[in-house]
Amino acid sequence: MTFPISDHYDGTHFFNPEGARRKVRRFSVLRWATRREGRAKWPDRVENTAYPPPAGDVAEGTLALTFIGHSSFLLRLAGLTLLTDPVFSERCSPVSFAGPKRVRPPGQPLAALPKPDAILLSHNHYDHCDIPSLQALRARFGPIPVFAPLGNRAFLEGKGLGPVTELDWWQAAAFRDARITLTPARHFAARSLRDRNLTLWGGFVVDHRGAKLYVAGDTGYTGYFRAIRERLGAPDFGLLPIGAYEPRWFMGNVHMNPADAVRAFDELGLRQAVGKHFGTFQLTDEAIDAPLHDLAAARTAAGIEPARFTTLDFGETRVFDLRRD
């Protein structure tokens, strides 16, 4: 399948127009993957605090946000419920017996969730696009519309999912009383050794009844944060990745660290944000609690009040006021 040639698609593969921040040699990656020198030891299992399931009406102008784990969130707005990158499986892997394993169970089980009106799927990596979870959601709730970057529709609908709306960067689709726009990100896509960057990746801006939400996908720090603000306006609320960032010589191209996320917070013009992509699967070298400590330090250095850029506990639901003064 091919798409129109653009500044991020050459007729065969998608790519990052900004290029790599640092060139990485394959030998160095292989050495890191096999030796894992300096890798922090995570606990084998961390049990979650029990929180009530997400329920009840959501007032106009507010967001009820539930953290399920990693990049999986339930966003409930007045008249609209969205689920981001749902992963409930024990591993994020092509097989059930190997690959990164959960340290924490999902903060809320699938059975505790209300029916999502739509799913936002940022890219096809296994820790974001988990087919068993998506199929379990369909089995429980019936067909759920999915919004995903270019190239993902055939694969997802071939698994019995969707209907799927594919979007290119900056392309928008109307959904109920919302407008969903796919935004650029610095990342890549692959589910095997043979399909690297055959599909696109990105984040989302959701305009809903006067409120604007930014849901970042996986991304390294990028000049696109300023472009998102300039083209779509400063979001009222954002979900920003803060984990899976060490070692920087490798991960810096595709994953932000907390200092990068604080910089993105400022350049996007966010009023408030919540961190994501941490504390669930050990994908990189940093300690399980490093993202929280590093976020606190970066926030302090930037003079940002803790309540403006915070995190949720696993399974916690918190209500955010989206109304502008």
Summarised one tens digit per residue, pLDDT across range 221-272 is 999 999 999 999 999 999 999 999 999 998 999 999 999 999 999 999 999 9
Strand 118-120 and strand 146-149: the pairing is parallel
Q: What is the structure's pLDDT at 324?
A: 80
Q: What is the structure's pLDDT at 96?
A: 85
In the chain, where the domains are located: 59-321
| Mean pLDDT, rounded, of the chain | 95
Lowest mean pLDDT among 22-36, 127-141, 157-171, 191-205: 22-36
Summarised one tens digit per residue, pLDDT across range 294-313 is 999 999 999 999 999 999 99
Residue 170 CA to residue 254 CA, distance in Å, equals 20
pTM given for the model: 0.96
Q: What is the structure's pLDDT at 25?
A: 62
Q: What is the structure's pLDDT at 298?
A: 98
Per-residue three-class SS string for the chain:
CCCCCECCECCCCECCCCCCCCCCCHHHHHHHHHHCCCCCCCCCCCCCCCCCCCCCCCCCCEEEEEEEECCEEEEEECCEEEEECCCCCCECCCCCCCCCEECCCCCCCHHHCCCCCEEECCCCCCCCCCHHHHHHHHHHHCCCCEEEECCCHHHHHHCCCCCEEEECCCCEEEECCEEEEEECCECCCCCCCCCCCCCCCCEEEEEECCEEEEECCCCECCCHHHHHHHHHCCCCEEEEECCCCCCHHHHCCCCCCHHHHHHHHHHHCCCCEEEECCCCECCCCCCCCHHHHHHHHHHHHHCCCHHHEECCCCCCEEEEECCCC
Residue 22 CA to residue 293 CA, distance in Å, equals 26
Summarised one tens digit per residue, pLDDT across range 48-64 is 999 999 999 999 999 99
Residue 237 CA to residue 175 CA, distance in Å, equals 19
Structure confidence at residue 20 as a pLDDT band (50, 70, 90): confident
Residue 102 CA to residue 130 CA, distance in Å, equals 13
Residue 135 CA to residue 159 CA, distance in Å, equals 8
Residue 209: left (phi > 0), alpha (psi -120 to 50), or beta? Answer: left
Q: What is the structure's pLDDT at 19?
A: 86
User: Is CATH 3.40.250.10 correct for 59-321?
Assistant: no
Edge to edge, the sheet with strand 164-167 lists 164-167, 146-149, 118-120, 80-84, 72-77, 62-69, 317-321
Q: What is the structure's pLDDT at 2?
A: 86
Structure confidence at residue 89 as a pLDDT band (50, 70, 90): very high
Q: What is the structure's pLDDT at 29?
A: 60
Is the pLDDT at 27 greater than 60? The verdict is no
Q: What is the structure's pLDDT at 202?
A: 98
Is the pLDDT at 33 greater than 70? The verdict is no
Percent of the chain with pLDDT over 90: 90
Q: What average pLDDT does this structure show over 89-104?
A: 94
Q: What is the structure's pLDDT at 38?
A: 78
Summarised one tens digit per residue, pLDDT across range 182-226 is 999 999 999 999 999 999 999 999 999 999 999 999 999 999 999
Residue 33 CA to residue 233 CA, distance in Å, equals 40
